[in-house]
Amino acid sequence: MRVRRPAGTAPGARTPRPVLAATLVVASLAGCGVLPALPGPVPSDVVPTDAAPSAAPTLDPAGAEGLSPDGFDAVQRMAVRIRNVGCSGLSTGSGFAVDEHTLITNRHVVADSDTLQVSTYDGRDLEVAAAGSTSLADLALVRTADPLPSHPTLADADPRPGDEVTVVGYPEGGRLTITAGEVIGPTTDPLHENLGEVLLTDAPVEPGSSGSAALDADGRVIGVVYAKTSDDRSLLVPVSTLERVLDDAEGFRALPPCARSSEAPSAPPSEIPSPG
């Protein structure tokens, strides 16, 4: 039997030259593609001009809360010290601003006064224009001729038991003091000075703290300190009562002038008509 070789595959057949040339050209071009490109010029400035806002330096959140026009925070700026110069003595209390010319304190702080003197956290004296108290609660309203430094907002509702409370005032008529505690809950007024329930907290207060603002964690007014209990708890007029009283401006009556005690003996007649 005879086997025949396929055509064109005869051993020793040569590669055609055009194919070889084409192969060389293709290989050369492929080799050029593998070669690295020349580098471009180095840019003169690589600083991005449209930096993201978050990359800008920001204030330290821990320190930002202390920023104010003079270094005092709003809690301190709204507090005032009230000196009640009465006809028979002197007493002090606390208060806080509710607008630029109005401050709130207790009725018993301003009662029996001949003169009321108001001073701010930084020792400035403010002239008092008028004062009035309400019979519905142990609250009084004082109008000042001079503007008050700062005033807080009132909370929308009374606090719940367990809520934080901060009291800012002048205990014992001394240094401006901030104390903190928690709301214990509503209770009946043991002094029968207020209509409705009052709030009991464990924030420490002292005589002279009367009229202090009680604030929640957001710095909103939740009540007004008016007394302390025998077990060192504080009693607040709740903000709901405060708002009700503020809404009824007619309920505030001007303070009656104090009655001076008659320590001086009455003068007897100095002359007696002679007989005859």
CB of 4 to another protein, least distance (A): 13
For another protein, give the closer residue by CB, 10 or 254. 10
Nearer to another protein, 162 or 268 (CB): 268
Cα-based distances in Å from 91 to 17, 85, 267: 121, 7, 31
| 24 binds another protein per the rule CB under 8 A | yes
Catalytic option among 108, 209, 216, 240: 108
Q: Is 192 a catalytic residue?
A: no
- State whether residue 34 is helix, strand or coil: helix
The catalytic position among 91, 113, 133, 138 is 138
Cα-Cα-Cα-Cα dihedral sign, residues 108, 130, 78, 164: positive
Asked whether the beta carbons of 208 and 174 are under 8 A apart, the reply is yes
Cα 208 to Cα 38, 53, 231, 259, distances in angstroms: 84, 49, 17, 22
Is 266 one of the binding residues for another protein (CB under 8 A)? yes
Q: Which is nearer to another protein, 83 or 228 (CB)?
A: 83
Does 101 participate in catalysis according to the annotation?
Answer: no
| Helix (H) or strand (E) run with residue 97 in it | strand 90-99
Catalytic, 138? Answer: yes
Under rule CB under 8 A, which residues in 169-208 are in contact with another protein? 170, 173-176
**Structure tokens given for 268:** 């007897």
- Token pair recorded at residue 253: 């009556």
Q: Which of 61, 69, 123, 162 binds another protein (CB under 8 A)?
A: 123
CB of 91 to another protein, least distance (A): 10
CA distance 195 to 69: 39
- How many C-beta neighbours within 10 Å does residue 228 have? 18
Size of the site for another protein (CB under 8 A): 53
Q: Which of 7, 42, 55, 56 binds another protein (CB under 8 A)?
A: 42
Instruction: Determine which residue in the list 4, 5, 17, 160 makes contact with another protein, applying CB under 8 A.
Output: 17
Is the CB of residue 220 less than 8 Å from the CB of residue 152? yes
As measured in angstroms, the least distance from the Cβ of 75 to another protein is 12
As a whole number of angstroms, the distance between CA 167 and CA 223 comes to: 9
What residues are labeled active site? 108, 138, 210
List contacts with another protein (CB under 8 A).
1, 17, 20, 24, 28, 31-32, 35-40, 42, 46-47, 63, 66, 70-72, 76, 81, 83, 85, 89-90, 92, 117, 119-123, 170, 173-176, 263-276
